[in-house]
Structure 1
Amino acid sequence: MTTPAKPKIKATNTAKRPRRMVRDPNPTVAKSAPAVDVVKTEAPATPTSQSQRKSTLALELLQRPDGATLDQLVEATGWLPHSTRAALTGLKKKGYILASEKPTDGPRIYRVTGKVAESA
């Protein structure tokens, strides 16, 4: 025994709504908001983002006399190894001289040995 197929009912008189883009303003929000007193606070002279603090931390580790291994940099910054290597490349592009040594019994050690003098 088979059950008869249900007939498909086509909806009639259905109006399509216009598509709304993601960045369109919300039409339900009131145009005029009540006035609010805004108190301005002193902004820090040099705002630093978390990535700037992390890259500074990585640079400090690399400037130590012993340098730093990739694992030490990953642990200190919380970055993934490929992101840490990209940060090393970024330091090279900023003019830092990086030395990389591979001891026979341990991981590779990275060290900043100086900075290229900028020409005037």
Structure 2
Amino acid sequence: MPKSKPQTKSSKVIALLSRTSGATLTEICKATNWQQHSVRAFLTGLRKKGYLLAREQRGEDGTACRITQGLNDKDAKGAA
């Protein structure tokens, strides 16, 4: 049985941010064991790569970030 490739922390964060409810800074920190400043730096890197992120108030949980447009979405709209 072939071993599956382990999920990277980057892919975990992108999956969390792709949910309809997005993810809070705390949720990302718990999933990756990163410190808050590292998560913020990663989010900045995603923006520089072309992801569009939205910040939304999520009731008592605080502010959540969510990917509203990914790299593939941008390419698809440009080709149409």
Q: Give the TM-score, by structure 2 length.
A: 0.76
- Which is helix-richer, 1 or 2? 2
CA displacement 1:72-106 (0-9 Å, x = unmatched):
00000110000001000000011000000124533
User: RMSD across aligned C-alpha pairs, in angstroms?
Assistant: 2.3
Pick which of 67-76 and 109-118 moved more: 109-118
Task: Name the counterpart of 1:102.
Answer: 57
**What secondary structure does 2:8 align onto?**
helix
- In structure 2, distance between residues paired with 1:64 and 1:104: 17
- In structure 2, distance between residues paired with 1:76 and 1:104: 21
- In structure 1, distance between residues paired with 2:13 and 2:59: 24
* Structure possessing the higher radius of gyration over alpha carbons: 1
Q: Give the TM-score, by structure 1 length.
A: 0.52
Is 1:71 aligned to residue 26 of structure 2?
Answer: yes
- Identity rate, percent: 44
Unaligned runs of 5+ in 2: none
- Which is strand-richer, 1 or 2? 2
- In structure 1, distance between residues paired with 2:17 and 2:53: 9
Instruction: Name the structure, 1 or 2, with higher relative contact order (CA <8 Å, separation 6+).
Output: 2
- In structure 2, distance between residues paired with 1:77 and 1:103: 21
